[in-house]
Structure 1
Amino acid sequence: MLELRRLGYHQDDFHLTADTTITAGFTALIGPSGAGKSTLLNMIAGFLAPTTGRILWDGADITDLAPAKRPVSILFQDNNLFPHLTVTENLALALTTRRPDKARLAQIDAALAQVGLQDMGPRKPAALSGGQQGRAALARVLLQDRPLMLLDEPFSALGPALRTEMLDLVARLASERGIKALMVSHAPEDARRVADEVALVSQGTLHQPQPTAPFFASPTAQLTAYLGDS
């Protein structure tokens, strides 16, 4: 359970506040560009210090923990794979080593198999397609074995069919492993497809998450303004 207690970030004329509890297995954050969705993820991940408030995970205060000490993994839009390392070496970094022993190599191979990249460990990222790079980045997140996964539009550069395939894969693996997922998206159809709950970020506020179907079936005025005719 993720608790955001009177959380706030303020810089110049930008203001974001969040005071809510997120309990669903898969939650989507949607809202206008610049509203603060990625800022919120960066605070939860520990890359950005909040101006006010606290962040709690399962009752433990993690606000002041370093990113590596948090129960959080994050999947970025650009995948963050090092081009000079092989896929295996990139994934080994999740295990805090570039020279994995036999046991850790077995873990890496198992993670690659889970995402459909069997036998691709020796390749460099440039030798993979965009979808395969996304799968490799997902495998690295799985190896980190953290209970909360943050997704900052990681598949927005992919075509519709491939994006749908990757969303389904993330949702399935997160469910199988008991990982809670919090995903930023600009695509309402993505939220409808995989999210148990959806929360709108607009006008400087993270609004309360709601079950996905009623969220879209009975939109608020702010959600209607964001969605337009979509």
Structure 2
Amino acid sequence: MKQIEKSALCLKQLVLFQNKQKLFELNLDIAPGEVVTIMGPSGSGKSTLLNLVSGFLPPSFTFTGSVMLDSADITHADPADRKIGLMFQDPLLFPHLSVEENLLFGLPAKGSRMERCAKVNAALEAVNMADLGHRDPMTLSGGQQSRIALIRVLLSEPKALLLDEPFSALDSGLRDKVREFVFSQAKAKNLPTLLVTHDQADAEKSGGQIITL
């Protein structure tokens, strides 16, 4: 029997229904640092799976089975208590806040203002973006916005990462760079990661299991 690592994300005998019609069945263990890709046609339930795992399942959907993270059953936990990071196609940065303020928003509410700012500055410096903290996020390039969005997610100290078509709005050259950055950060942070995409290149570059719904 395969030994499940403590910090894995495990979807146990998960069956998703829409208006009582079965969409798919999934039994999946994602190890720390592993990226598993979900592919499939529109309407197959890819993004809805991420909603289920994160706790935002629309009322027209129901499911059976369970979601485990770090050995805890989070199937019916409040979304805020799940410790799951979400990254979408749109970076969803706050336009009325600076880059630094956007990142401060992602930090858990602990420590002094000085300590929190130090964490943000260290994160920016670690990815060679230390000079961007004061900038209006809307003045950044698409790739820079995507990297800031990921850093904000990572600063929230998630135990798992969900990626919903996060690269699809980028041109091909930029897409390669941002994709490499996101996957390398997920591996470096040992985050079990679930990626939803239509792009075969995304799946291949993830280096992990590919599942088609």
**AA matched with 2:199:** A
Q: Which residue of 1 aligns with 2:194?
A: 182
Q: Does the residue aligned with 2:131 lie in a helix, a strand or coil?
A: coil
The alignment status of 1:38 with 2:47, answered yes or no, reads yes
Q: Matched residues in 1 for 2:13 and 2:195: separation?
A: 21
In structure 1, runs of 5+ residues without a counterpart are 202-230
Q: Which residue of 1 aligns with 2:38?
A: 29
* Shift, 1:36, TM fit: 0.8
TM-score normalised according to structure 1 size: 0.80
- 1:141-180 paired onto structure 2 within 5 Å: 141-180=153-192
**AA matched with 1:128:** L
What does the per-residue CA deviation read over 1:68-95, in whole Å, with 9 as the maximum and x for residues that have no partner?
1113101011111111111111111112
On the 8 A contact 2:70/2:159 being kept in 1, the answer is no
Q: CA RMSD in A?
A: 2.0
| Aligned length, in residue pairs | 200
Which residue among 3, 28, 46 is the counterpart of 2:10?
3
Q: Matched residues in 2 for 1:18 and 1:3: separation?
A: 14
Q: Which residue of 2 aligns with 1:68?
A: 80
Higher RCO (C-alpha under 8 Å, 6+ residues apart): 2
Q: Matched residues in 2 for 1:160 and 1:178: separation?
A: 27
Instruction: Tell me which moved more, 189-198 or 10-19.
Output: 10-19
On the 8 A contact 1:115/1:139 being kept in 2, the answer is no
Q: Matched residues in 2 for 1:42 and 1:195: separation?
A: 24
What does the per-residue CA deviation read over 1:18-58, in whole Å, with 9 as the maximum and x for residues that have no partner?
33122341111111122111000111111116432221123
Q: Does the residue aligned with 2:106 lie in a helix, a strand or coil?
A: helix
* Shift, 1:111, TM fit: 1.6
Q: Matched residues in 2 for 1:164 and 1:100: separation?
A: 37
- Residues 1:131 and 1:14: Cα distance change in structure 2 (over 3 Å): farther
On the 8 A contact 1:28/1:195 being kept in 2, the answer is no
The alignment status of 1:102 with 2:109, answered yes or no, reads no
Q: Does the residue aligned with 1:112 lie in a helix, a strand or coil?
A: helix
* Shift, 1:104, TM fit: 0.7
Q: Which residue of 1 aligns with 2:147?
A: 135
Q: Matched residues in 2 for 1:79 and 1:123: separation?
A: 15
**Identical aligned residues as a percent:** 42
In structure 2, runs of 5+ residues without a counterpart are 1-7
Q: Matched residues in 1 for 2:183 and 2:203: separation?
A: 11
On the 8 A contact 1:4/1:56 being kept in 2, the answer is yes
TM-score normalised according to structure 2 size: 0.86
On the 8 A contact 2:36/2:193 being kept in 1, the answer is yes
Q: Which residue of 2 aligns with 1:205?
A: none
What does the per-residue CA deviation read over 1:143-173, in whole Å, with 9 as the maximum and x for residues that have no partner?
0111211100111010111111011111111
What does the per-residue CA deviation read over 1:197-227, in whole Å, with 9 as the maximum and x for residues that have no partner?
11111xxxxxxxxxxxxxxxxxxxxxxxxxx
**AA matched with 2:204:** R
